[in-house]
Amino acid sequence: QVQLVESGGGLVQAGGSLRLSCLASGKIISVGHMGWYRQAPGKERELVAQITSGGRTIYKDSEKGRFAISMDNAKTTVNLQMNSLKAEDTAVYLCNARILSGVLWSDYWGQGTQVTVSS
């Protein structure tokens, strides 16, 4: 089985920064992509940023320039550096990964980490 464990959330003032990390562990044969979604109360889950094992990145348009996603060389940890945080960034941030474990590619999710930005 595969597990994703997030860390790095918390409370920060508007304009501040946070760095989220997500570690994938378990029976991992290959990683397709890893990324971060977020879900605010009463809103749908949305993609924030994603990175493939080859280093290709995708960002939510409004986060380009403020957020930066990266992956370690082992392709098991994904980080999200968030700068110039705004109150509207407040949400639960969830790590997502497309991983080959056994013979199937599957999507895995972490439990989520709360990010609260005070204005």
Dump pLDDT digits (tens) for 52-110: 999 999 999 888 889 999 999 888 999 999 999 999 999 999 999 999 999 999 999 99
pLDDT in tens, 11-27: 999 999 999 999 999 99
pLDDT of residue 37: 98
Strands, E, within 1-119: which ranges?
2-7, 10-13, 18-26, 30-39, 46-52, 57-59, 67-71, 77-82, 91-101, 104-109, 113-118
Nearest to 82 by CA among 32, 43, 117, 40: 117
Nearest to 6 by CA among 97, 80, 110: 110
CB 58 within 8 A of CB 47: yes
pLDDT in tens, 44-62: 999 999 999 999 999 998 8
Pairwise CA distance, residues 101 & 117, whole Å = 36
Neighbours of 98 (CB within 10 A): 17
Cα dihedral sign, 21-27-32-37: negative
- Paired residues of 3 in beta bridges: 25
